[in-house]
Structure 1
Amino acid sequence: MESHGPRLLGATMYKNPIASFTQFQHFSVQNPEIYWQLLLNELSVRFSVPPKRVLDTSDKSKHGGTWLPGSMLNVAECCLQSSNNFKKDDNSLAIVWRDEGCDDDDYQIRSMTLKELRQQVMLVANALELGFRRGDAIAIDMPMTATAVIIYLAIVLAGFVVVSIADSFAPMEIATRLRVSKAKAVFTQDFIVRGGRRFPLYSRVVEAGPDRVIVIPATGKDVALQLRNQDSSWHTFLSSARRLPRCNYYSPVYQPPDSVTNILFSSGTSGEPKAIPWTQLSPIRCAADSWAHLDVRVGDVFCWPTNLGWVMGPILLYSSFLAGATLALYHGSPLSRGFGKFVQDAGVTILGTVPSLVKTWKSTSCMDGLDWTKIKLFASTGEASSVDDDLWLSSRNYYKPVIECCGGTELASSYIYGNLLQPQAFGTFSSAAIGAGFVIFDESGTPYPDEEACVGEVGLFPHYFGATERLLNGDHEEVYFKGMPIYNGMQLRRHGDILKRTVGGYYIVQGRADDTMNLGGIKTSSVEIERVCNFADESILEIAAVSVAPPNGGPEQLSIFVVLKKGFSVEPDILHMKFAKAIQANLNPLFKVRLVKIVPEFPRTASNKLLRRVLRDQLKKELHIHSKI
Structure 2
Amino acid sequence: MEAHGQRLLGKAYEDPITSFPLFQKFTAQNPEIYWSIVLKELSVWFHEAPSCILDEIDKSKPGGTWFPGSVLNIAECCLLPTSYPGKTDSNVAIVWRQEGCDDNPVCHLTLKDIRDQVMLVANALDSTFSKGDVIAIDMPMTVSAVIIYLAIILSGRIVVSIADSFAAKEIATRLRVSQAKGVFTQDFILRGGRRFPLYSRVVEATPDVVIVLPASGEAVNAPLRKQDKSWKEFLAQAAQHMRHCRSSEGTIALKVDNLRLDHYSPVYQPGESITHILFSSGTTGEPKAIPWTQLSPIRGAADLWAHMDVQVGDVLCWPTSFGWMAGAVVLYSCFLTGATLALYHGSPLGRGFGKFIQFNRWEFKLKGLGANLRRVFGSAGEASNIDDDLWLSSRAYYKPIIELCGSTELAGGYIHGNLLQPQAFGALSSASMATCILILDEHGNPYPDDQACEGEVALFPLLMGASTTLLNADHGEVYFKGMPLYKGRHLRRVGDVIKRTARGYFIVQGRADDTMNLGGIKTSSVEIERVCNLADESVLETAAVGAAPPQGGPELLAIFVALKEGFNNDAEKLRLQFSKAIQQNLNPLFKVSIVKILPELPRTATNKLLRRVLKDRVKKELPVQSRI
TM-score interval, smaller chain: over 0.9
Conserved? CA contact 1:275–1:472, under 8 Å: yes
The one-letter amino acid of 2:297's match is P
1: CA distance, partners of 2:117 / 2:7 = 36
User: Given the alignment of the two structures, is residue 571 of structure 1 paired with residue 585 of structure 2, yes or no?
Assistant: no
- Residue 444 of structure 1 aligns to which amino acid in structure 2? H
Q: 1:199 & 1:489 partners in 2: Cα distance?
A: 53
Judging changes above 3 Å, is the alpha-carbon distance between structure 1 residues 228 and 259 closer, same or farther for their aligned structure 2 residues? same
Mapping of residues 108-127 of structure 1, within 5 Å: 109-127=106-124
Q: Which residue of 2 aligns with 1:499?
A: 498
Kindly state the Cα deviation for residue 7 of structure 1 after the two structures are TM-superposed.
6.9
Aligned to 2:19: 20
**Structure 1 counterpart of 2:198:** 201
Greater alpha carbon shift after TM alignment, 527-536 vs 294-303: 527-536
Tell me, yes or no, if the aligned pair for 2:594 and 2:625 is still in contact at 8 Å.
Answer: no
Matches within 5 A, 1:538-549: 538-549=537-548
Matched with 1:288 is 302
2:250 corresponding residue in structure 1? none
CA-CA distance at 1:624 after TM superposition: 3.9
Given candidates 322, 345, 348, the residue that maps to 1:308 is 322
8 A contact 1:432–1:438 mirrored in 2: yes
Specify whether residues 10 and 601 from structure 1 end up closer, same or farther in structure 2 by C-alpha distance, changes over 3 A only: closer
* Structure 2 match to 1:41: 40
Alignment-derived partner of residue 179 in structure 1: 176
Amino acid at match of 1:18: I
State the alpha-carbon separation in 2 of the partners of residues 390 and 202 from structure 1: 37
Measured at CA, do residues 128 and 551 of structure 1 come closer, stay the same or move farther in structure 2, by a change above 3 Å?
same
CA distance in 1, matches of 2:385, 2:527: 27
Q: Which of 332, 336, 339 lines up with 1:325 in the alignment?
A: 339
Residue equivalent to 1:438: 437
Stretches of structure 2 that go unaligned for 5 or more consecutive residues are 243-258, 363-370
Q: Tell me the alpha carbon deviations over residues 278-320 of structure 1, each in whole angstroms, 9 at most, x when there is no partner.
A: 0011100000111000000000000101010011000110011
2:208 match: 211
Q: Secondary structure at the match of 2:93?
A: strand
Q: Corresponding residue for 1:82?
A: 81
Once the two structures are overlaid, the 10-residue window that deviates more, 174-183 or 455-464, is: 455-464
The aligned counterpart of 1:259 is 273
Q: TM-score, normalised by structure 2?
A: 0.93
TM-score by length of 1: 0.93
Aligned partners of 2:509 and 2:548 also within 8 Å: no
Are residue 273 (structure 1) and residue 250 (structure 2) matched?
A: no
Q: Tell me which amino acid in the other structure corresponds to 1:17.
A: P
Contact 2:99 2:347 in 1 (8 A): yes
Q: How far is the alpha carbon of 1:123 from its aligned partner?
A: 0.4
Residues 7 and 13, structure 1, Cα contact 8 Å, conserved in 2: no
Structure 1 residue 480 displacement after superposition: 0.2
Q: Output one character per residue of 1:80-101: Cα deviation in whole Å (capped at 9) or x when no partner.
A: 0111112221110011000000
Contact 2:376 2:399 in 1 (8 A): yes
Aligned equivalents of 1:618, 1:85: Cα separation in 2:
55
In structure 2, C-alpha distance between the alignment counterparts of 1:302 and 1:472, rounded to whole Å: 32
**Aligned equivalents of 1:533 and 1:389: distance in 2?**
32
> Does the residue aligned with 1:498 lie in a helix, a strand or coil?
strand
Q: What SS does structure 2 have at the residue aligned with 1:345?
A: coil
Check the 8 A contact 1:101/1:195 in 2, yes or no: no
Q: How far did 1:584 drift?
A: 1.2
Listed as ranges, the matches of 1:378-397 within 5 Å are 378-397=377-396
Task: Quote how far apart the aligned CAs of 1:16 are.
Answer: 2.0
CA contact (8 A) 1:373 1:397 kept: no
Tell me the distance in 2 between the aligned counterparts of 1:626 and 1:132: 52
Q: Which amino acid aligns with 2:168?
A: P
Shift of the alpha carbon at 1:194?
1.8
2: distance between equivalents of 1:509 and 1:597?
25
CA contact (8 A) 1:390 1:402 kept: yes
Following TM superposition, by how much is the alpha carbon of 1:524 offset from its aligned partner in structure 2, in angstroms? Answer: 0.3
CA deviation string 1:123-152 (max 9, x = no partner)? 000111122111110000000000000000
Pairs within 5 Å for 1:46-195: 46-105=45-104, 107=105, 109-195=106-192
Deviation at 1:327, TM superposition (A): 0.4
2:93 aligned partner, one-letter code: A
Q: Which runs of structure 2 are paired with 1:210-229 in the superposition (5 Å)?
A: 210-229=207-226
* In structure 1, distance between residues paired with 2:499 and 2:179: 40
The letter for the 1-side match of 2:120 is L
For residues 462 and 262 of structure 2, the distance between their equivalents in structure 1, rounded to whole angstroms, comes to: 40
State how far apart, in whole Å, the 2-side matches of 1:331 and 1:278 are: 26
Judging changes above 3 Å, is the alpha-carbon distance between structure 1 residues 242 and 554 closer, same or farther for their aligned structure 2 residues?
A: same
Which position in structure 2 is the counterpart of 1:363? Answer: none
Greater mean deviation of Cα atoms: 195-204 or 395-404: 195-204
Q: Which moved more, 1:334-343 or 1:12-21?
A: 12-21
Which residue of 246, 249, 260 corresponds with 1:246? 260
Instruction: Return the offset for 1:461.
Output: 0.8
The secondary structure found in structure 2 opposite 1:547 is strand
Deviation sequence 1:441-470 (CA, Å, 0-9, x none): 111111111111111111101000110000
| Matched letter for residue 322 of structure 1 | L
The residue aligned with 1:234 is 231
1:491: Cα distance to partner?
0.9
CA distance in 1, matches of 2:147, 2:7: 33
Q: Given residue 283 of structure 1, which amino acid in structure 2 is its aligned partner?
A: P
Q: What letter is aligned with 1:114?
A: L
One-letter amino acid of the structure 2 residue matched with residue 185 of structure 1? G
Please say if residues 288 and 473 of structure 2, whose CA atoms lie closer than 8 Å, have aligned partners that are also in contact: yes
TM superposition shift of 1:580: 1.4
Aligned amino acid, residue 278 of structure 2: L
Distance 2:453 2:111 in 1: 48
Question: 1:462 and 1:515 mapped to 2: Cα distance?
Answer: 23
Contact 2:314 2:373 in 1 (8 A): no
Distance 2:393 2:194 in 1: 33
1:574 Cα deviation (Å)? 1.6
Aligned equivalents of 1:382, 1:535: Cα separation in 2: 29
Report the counterpart of residue 560 of structure 2 in structure 1: 561
Moved more, 267-276 or 609-618: 609-618
Alignment deviations for residues 598-619 of structure 1 (CA, whole Å, 9 cap, x no partner) = 1111110001111111111011
Deviation per residue, 1:221-244 (Å, 9 max, x gap): 120121001100000000011354
Separation in 1, partners of 2:500, 2:12: 25
Change (3 A) 1:10 1:502: closer
Partner secondary structure for residue 239 of structure 1: helix
Instruction: Report the secondary structure of 2:286's partner residue.
Output: coil
Q: RMSD of the TM alignment (CA)?
A: 1.5
Superposed CA deviations along residues 520-565 of structure 1, whole A, max 9, x for unmatched, are 1111011011111111111111111111111111110111111111
Q: Counterpart of 1:404? A: 403
CA offset at residue 40 of structure 1? 0.4
Deviations 1:384-423 (A, max 9, x none): 1111111111101111100110000000000000111111
Q: 562-571 or 273-282: which moved more?
A: 562-571
Residue 512 of structure 1 is matched in structure 2 by 511
The alignment partner of 1:593 has SS state of coil
Instruction: Report the 3-state secondary structure (helix = DSSP H, G, I; strand = E; otherwise coil) of the residue aligned with 1:569.
Output: coil
Q: Aligned equivalents of 1:347 and 1:277: distance in 2?
A: 40
The sequence identity of aligned pairs, in percent, is: 66
Shift of 1:11: 4.1
Quote how far apart the aligned CAs of 1:510 are.
1.0
Q: Provide the rounded CA distance (Å) in 2 between the counterparts of 1:477 and 1:79.
A: 32
| Distance across 1 between alignment mates of 2:602 and 2:495 | 22
- How many Å apart are 1:625 and its aligned residue? 6.2
- The answer for the alignment partner of 1:340 in structure 2 is 354
| Contact 1:498-1:512 at 8 Å conserved across structures | yes
Q: Quick check: 2:583–2:589 contact (8 Å CA) kept in 1?
A: yes
What SS does the corresponding residue of 1:9 show, helix, strand or coil? helix
Aligned residue runs from structure 1 range 437-456, under 5 A: 437-456=436-455
